[in-house]
Chains A and B, each alone.
Chain A
Amino acid sequence: MYSEELQELFKRKRISIGDSIGVKAEGVDITGELMPRTDVGDADTLVIKLSSGYNIGISKRNIKDVRLVSPAAEKAAITLAPVKKNSKLPTISILHTGGTIASKVDYRTGGVTARFTPQEILEMFPELREMSNIESRLIRNMWSEDMRFAHYNLMADEVEKEIKKGVDGIIITHGTDTMHYSAAALAFMLEDLPVPVILVGAQRSSDRGSTDAAGNLINATYFIANSDFAGVAICMHETSNDSSCLILPATKTRKMHTSRRDAFRPINTTAIARVSYDKKNVSFIAKGYGKRSAAKLKLTHFNEKLKVGLMKTHTNMYASEVAAYGDFDGLVIEGFALGQAPINKVDEFTEEHPRILAAIKELCKKMPVVMASQCIYGRLQMNVYSTARDLQAAGVVGNLDDMTPETTFIKLAWLLSNYKKEEVAKLMTKNLRGEITARSDYGAFLI
């Protein structure tokens, strides 16, 4: 946004964003299009797009005169030709929720906030239509960091609607930051899924020629059209190459890199399948997977009012940090390694620690408190050290789980939404949707 003073000036001169304006300033006399001011940079500097396409900034303090040359030209509306259905191809619904995959720079409003319409996405990736009849709609337009339980309910309801319509598969486009949370949530909510529900994101926005959105969407579509898989999964790049994607298990996947396109990795397990549209190939990696059936979908929801926390242990911790969760309905402790927390008084410096144990004990009286490991990889074993034994004695559950902290969090919230408190603790350590493996595979580390 421009400063109030500049906005006042524009108003006086009847200038709007996008208009062609003339600017006379110290040592310069230029004509160009007035660009919006993004949230960074100096609000007192005009951003002008020159005919070369370059933007330059001219500071208000140097400006002698600004005048309107011509108002912005009306943008011609893009009309998209209606698509004919091909009865030989499967029908896939794409439900858009926003995120980088749908983002582009909007130079009228500034920043990467505007989104592509579903139609535009189809225009951009014509390969999708060659493989399937695509139905596409926007169910929400948001960054994934803003997701709440209510959004999980919304997505699951929309999935149910599509399944009732009889589609052969569903793709949900999603921001990548919390895509693994959503995948886990949907896996718990959608029991006995008769078709695939594939979450797809992008690490590079779709307005770039190098976007990974193309590969992820095209491969997800190819996978749905060419496999018998049913269930919830994530489809993202296998490596930094654009040549293949992995179909990843909804409850055992995590975003492991801030920016790489192969950021999503299977944790403590393997990917379900590898898919390559380039090679026209789907190969299953997982030994078993859910298959399409005539099963009837059982949909359960999240209680949107639930307060569930996720607390990471760290050194130099205080009991008040734990006590802050006093009015919550459940808590996941992302503890150290096999399931430890700082609860032992070992010397004069660790007097706070017994108070931490007391605070945890207090929470356990009110709510389920579940352990997960900040190691991410590996299994909890809370019988090895006395510290974890003490935590178990205090009421912390989760021993022998190998879930990611995020899946633990989602599972706890979903169980609390649908089961009695007594059952929750028991079910936390029972495998319901592939979230807990019984065996620790040698090959399932750092893949």
Chain B
Amino acid sequence: MTNDDNYYKKIGFMCGLEIHQRIDTDEKLFCSCTTKHEEKDAGATVVRRQRAVAGEVGGIDVSAKFEELRQRSFLYNVFADETCLVDIDEEPPHQLNSDALLVTLSLAHALNMRIVDELQTMRKNVIDGSDPSAFQRSAMVAIDGTIKVNGTEIAVPTLFVEEESSGIAATGQSAVTYDTNRLGIPLIEVDTAPTIPNPAMAKAVALYLGTLLRLTGKAQRGIGSIRQDTNLSIRDGARVEIKGMQELDSMDKFIENEVLRQQKLLEIKALLLKSKARLGSAMDVTHIFADTSAKVVRDQLDKDGTVMAVALHSFKGMLGFEINPDMRLGTEISDYAKMAGVHGIIHSDENMDKYGFTKEEINALKYKLKLAEGDAFIMIAGERASVSEAMELASQRASYAMQGIPKETRTVRDSVQCTTRFMRPLPTGSRMYPETDVRPVAITSEMLALSKKMAPDLDKEMERMHALLKNTALEEQLILSPKLPLFREIVATSHAEPDFVAHTLLQKFTELRRQGVAIDTIRKVRLIELFDAYAKGSVTKQAVGELLVALAKQDNPVSKLAEELSLNKITGSELKALVEHARKELKGAPSKDALRERIMARDRLRIDGNELNALL
């Protein structure tokens, strides 16, 4: 089903990608802080509030207003070398980083785009607090590009250079804490048109764009340094943006599940319309549960909380309707309620005995809500202030089930099942206004010429790789791999054979990762030391694997580890002595094989087989 274009055409499948990649410049996009993002401890924390404001065209952004409803405080961790006054909204931005712009321009060439003549930096309102200024600076660099992936042409209408947001350090009910050292690192955003024909192609396009970005040689590495957000919808459904997919491997599965979710929600809509479903008005039902022993309510009432409930007429069975693996309409409604700080909802398609409610309590509730056969209810318990807000949000979502599918930004709920959850309403277009503190940048012919020279070129890269590697199977694998820049650096500095380096980084790494070795934590300098030691002949090929395991456990110099683990290569006169010793041990005239076996049994990891063969 995955690749059946006809099927996806029939359901009105629309899908586009937004790829974000951090750029490895020395300084941030609008200040001179380092982009290293390595400091662990914040030196200070500032507390801020944010408000919804009107965008350039006058309207207040829906998602911005939604966040304001949550009345949160934002705490920003400040780092000594990686945060400055610009990051925490205490100083106007400096000029746009020219290196970041050049890399973005180079990518524009590779994507066959029309570069703008003058760059205009914009402020894009963000009120989830991830930016202390309440906006992200972003500039459109180029438009109207195309790429060809697996024979299909995909339009790339826009390319941006922008600021990275802060990383979330902690989330509480009334406050969110952000680390501002990540904030302001340059980010490239590439968007495709919503014409990707099926989920498998989405994955292929993401892989292609990710590779081009890496080929700029200026892509930051590490977790979160690249993000592939997907926008999709089906006919009669709604545009939904999925964020936070870390593994490219499961992207298609996430997309398939979102298609399924929209289909199921449309089924629910049809059923609700047919049964003329409607919502009652929410009411305080605390008194009904004053003596309840159902823990979920009892705990809240003991803390002076309240309970509210609402009648959902003709909703019976709909709240428990499965829309994705382990997800029901009730789950969706619950996700909205949670935004107000409650634990979730209780609904009538659930087993009330499980919660510990008595029949009398439920009957009293049904009586109060005037429920008939075929009706359902939602109940929320929690702090007084949160409950009424949560009830409003839950009612809105329940009511929307009769209209269709809300436009949402969603994030990963379960990375194994590949399901998502509501994060916030999809922002509307009215959240943009000019950044007047930064001068527009004229794109000069010098900049165009220089960036053209830097442009990543997939075909040329394939040729180069072909010349470098003997094993052709590794070529494409390496080019598409995030390890490519690491490979290049190791080969350039260590003199180790490229094939061995490629094989180790691709196959050996995967093998060790599967065995649970924390292989990706090994620092680059150690890897260079290791391949250098191998190239210089101080350790054998076989010992490299053992040393990788050791390095994943402790970050020590390779020479020290080899010494400690007795993995230094035995060579020359030392090896000769070993051979002589073995001859004596075996007595008579032992065969070459017997000798080899005897010697290798003891020191397999320390001896180069070819050298030994020559001596026998």
Contact = CB atoms under 8 A, between A and B. Distances in A.
A242 B434 contact: no
Given A54-B122, A56-B140, A208-B133, A28 B440 contact: no
Contacts of A50: 140
Given A42-B440, A57-B117, A209 B430 contact: no
Contacts of A38: 434, 436
Interface residues of A, number: 47
A376 interface: no
B267 interface: no
Nearest to B142: A56
A107 interface: yes
Nearest to B54: A207
A124 interface: yes
Of B52, B114, B133, chain A has the most CB atoms within 10 Å of the CB of: B114
Contact of B47 (A47, A75, A111, A243): A243
Contacts of A41: 118, 439-440, 442
B119 interface: yes
Interface in A176-229: 203-204, 206-211, 214-215
B118 A209 contact: no
Given A59-B117, A107-B434, A240-B88, A30 B64 contact: no
Contacts of B47: 241-243
A53 B56 contact: yes
B126 to A, nearest CB: 8
Interface in A21-38: 27-28, 30, 35, 38
B440 A241 contact: no
Given A47-B120, A208-B133, A259-B91, A214 B140 contact: no
A40 B433 contact: no
Contact of A55 (B122, B134, B135): B122
Interface residues of B, number: 52
B143 A30 contact: yes
Contacts of A79: none
B158 interface: yes
A316 interface: no
Contacts of B430: 53
B51 interface: yes
Nearest to A26: B114
Interface in A121-180: 124
Contacts of A42: 118, 440, 442
A260 interface: yes
B50 interface: yes
Nearest to A103: B436
B588 interface: no
B80 interface: no
Nearest to A52: B429
Interface in B143-181: 143-144, 158, 160
Given A57-B119, A243-B47, A209 B58 contact: no
B48 interface: yes
Contacts of A107: 56, 433-434
Interface in B554-577: none
Given A57-B118, A209-B53, A210-B48, A105 B433 contact: yes
A141 to B, nearest CB: 18
Nearest to A37: B440
Contact of A210 (B64, B114, B132, B140): B132
The 7 closest A-B pairs by CB, nearest first: A57-B118, A209-B134, A53-B432, A41-B440, A59-B117, A55-B120, A210-B134
17 contacts: A28-B144, A42-B440, A50-B140, A52-B140, A53-B429, A53-B430, A54-B139, A58-B117, A207-B433, A209-B52, A209-B64, A209-B125, A210-B50, A240-B46, A240-B90, A258-B91, A259-B90
Given A208-B134, A241-B46, A242-B48, 16 more contacts: A38-B436, A41-B440, A42-B440, A45-B117, A53-B56, A53-B429, A62-B117, A207-B53, A209-B134, A209-B135, A210-B50, A210-B132, A240-B46, A240-B88, A241-B47, A260-B91
